[in-house]
Amino acid sequence: MVEKTISDLRIKIFSALSDPTRLELLEYLSGGERCVCEILPAFQRSQSTVSKHLNILYEAGILDRKIDGKRTVYLIKDPQVFDLIRHVDSMALKQISHLAEAGRILEKSLSNGR
């Protein structure tokens, strides 16, 4: 299936990254290329499920794959994806630390007040 617009692909990339299993797969593959038979034992998911997830990342252009005899090897195609994830993490951290700060302020006011 060929992509037509940037918008479609953009959504496809964001969607691909909206699943915890797929983010774990990316992290796992950041250690280097792996065949499915290596990936499977590392994940508590059925073979069909893992295969589907890998394909979603492939279709989003995040992973590449090559066939090596009877196995399929998956690898990171665009390492930029890790910058993306770090970027989101920094946004998430910012929020959580704000929450934490609010929590400390609240805590302090409580312990002072009473």
Partner DNA sequence: GTTTATAATCGTCTTATGGCGATAGGTTTA
Partner DNA sequence: TAAACCTATCGCCATAAGACGATTATAAAC
- List of residues contacting a copy of itself (CB under 8 A): 2-3, 6-7, 9-11, 13-15, 17-20, 23, 61, 78, 80-81, 83-85, 87-96, 99
- Nearest to 63, CA basis, from 88, 84, 33, 100: 33
Give the nearest distance from C-beta 49 to a copy of itself in angstroms. Answer: 17
Task: Name which of DNA, a copy of itself, none residue 79 binds, using a CB cut-off of 5 to 8 Å depending on partner kind.
Answer: none
- What is the distance between the alpha carbons of residues 36 and 94, in angstroms, rounded to a whole number? 36
Site string for DNA, 57-76 (x = CB under 7 A): --------x---xxxxx---
Out of a copy of itself, DNA, none, what residue 30 binds, judged by CB under 5 to 8 A for its kind, is none
Query: For 107, how many CA atoms within 13 A lie in the half-sphere containing its CB?
Result: 6
CB neighbours of residue 60 within 10 Å: 22
Note whether 47 binds DNA by CB under 7 A: yes
Q: How far is residue 104's CA from residue 54's CA, in Å, rounded to a whole number? A: 42
Q: Identify what 114 binds: DNA, a copy of itself, none; CB under 5 to 8 Å per kind.
A: none
**Angular region, 71: left φ>0, alpha ψ -120 to 50, beta rest:** beta
Partner interacting with residue 101 (select from a copy of itself, DNA, none; CB below 5-8 Å by kind): none
